[in-house]
Structure 1
Amino acid sequence: MLNLAHTVRLAVVSTVLLSALPVVSASEKDHDPLRLQPQSVEADYCTRSGGAVVLHLRIWLTYANRGDTTILVPRVRRVSEYVLLRTGNTANQREVAYRWRQDGPPMLDTSKLNIDAPDPKLFDRLPAGSTLPSMQSIDILLGSRDGRTKARLSGDYSLELYVDHWPGARGPGDRLRKEWISQGLLYMSILKADPITVHIESDPDAKACRFRID
C-alpha cells in the first residue's frame, strides 16, 4: 500500500509551490484585501464502526493581507462549505463531484465581546502586507467498505474550501466593526481559499477511526 498521507501532501505542495500560473480566486475578483492560500495537506483514511471509509484532511493555510489597512481576523472560525471538482475539465465545465455545507449553531456569543477593544485571545491583528498561518480540518465520506459498493470518490480533485469568519450574530459584529475601526477592519466574511489539489485512493488502507480533536 502507498503512504497515503505522503502522497496527498506531495500533490498539494507541488501545486501550490511550483505552479507557474497563479490561480485567480473569487476573493481577487471581488478585491477582497484578504487572501487564503494553501501551503500543505496531511491526510489519513479510517473506517467508522458502520463500515464507512472517511478521508480526514488537515490543511495548513496562510492568510495574506494585500490591502493597505490592518485586518482583525477572528480566531473563532470554521469551514462552512467545501466542494470537490473533478480535474481535467475546462474552467467553463465545472463538474462537481461532492459538495458539503454546514449551517450549524453560532460558535461565539458575539453580544458579550468587549466593545472597547478586540480581545487578543479571540482576534489576530494582521497589518497590511503581513501573513498569518492557520489550519483547518475536514472529513470526506468516501463510501462503504462492506463490499456492496465501491468508494464513490477516487482520483484527482480540486478542492474549494470556504471559511466562515463570523459564526455568530451579525448585529453585534456590525457594531463592533464600527467601534474598532481605528484599530483595524473586523473581518466578518466567508472567504474562499485558493484551490487545493488532492488525490483520493480507490482502495485505501483504512484502519478503525479514533476519536480526535483538531
Structure 2
Amino acid sequence: MFKVDLEKTSVTYQLPEGMAEKMVRLAYPDETLISSEVIAGGCANLNIKIQLENQNKPLILRVYLRDKDSADREQKLSALLKGHLPVLLTRYIGEFEGHHFAITEFISGISLRDLLLGAVTHDLSSIMHEVGLILSKITAHEFSEAGFFDKELEVVPYESSDVIKFAKGCLNDKTVLSVLDPSVIAEIKKAIEQHASSVPTIVIYNEVCV
C-alpha cells in the first residue's frame, strides 16, 4: 500500500501571499483573477486551479518544485500527442522570483490516487484496457534512440552511471529531505551503492517515453 503508507501528498508547499496572482498577471496582464484553489494530491509540483474573469473555463497554475525544465518537456509532449490523447496544452511558461511555473488547460476528473484508494467501485479490466490503448498511441511516436528528454525534447543518451547519479540526486532533493527520515535516506543510499553494478547498460528503444 505504497500510496497509503509512503506517499506524502499532505505535505503541501505554500507560495508566499499574493505570488500566485502575480504569476497569473505575467501571462494574462489584462485579466482579473477571480478565484484560486490548491488541488491536493500533488507529489512533485504545486497545482492551483484558477478562474479568470474573461475565461469560460478554469486553468491550472502549475508551480514546479523540482525540475524547472519539466514545463518545457510537458509543453512539447502535449503538442506532440494532441489529437491522439486528451492531453492538457500549456498556455504559458514563466519564472517569477525563482519559481518556475506554467499555466495549462484544466480537465475535470478524478485523480489516480483517489481512484485507487477511494470507496467507489470501478471496473479495473476496463480501465487497464483504456490504459493499453493510450500506451499504444504514445509509442506510435518514435525517436532515434533511448535516453532522457532535454527541455527541447531532444534525446540525451544515458549510461548506467547516469541512472545512479539521478537516483542519488533525488535523495538530496529538499522535498525528499523534508519528508523522509535521515535513517531511511541512509538505507536507500546504501542499497543504491550495493546494487549499482546491477543497473543495466542502455538498451535501445525508440518509442517516446513519458
What TM-score does the superposition give when structure 1 sets the normalisation length?
0.25
Richer in strand (by share): 1
Q: Which structure's residues are more often helix, by fraction?
A: 2
- Taking structure 2 as the reference length, what is the TM-score of the superposition? 0.26
Relative contact order, higher structure (CA 8 A, sep 6+):
1
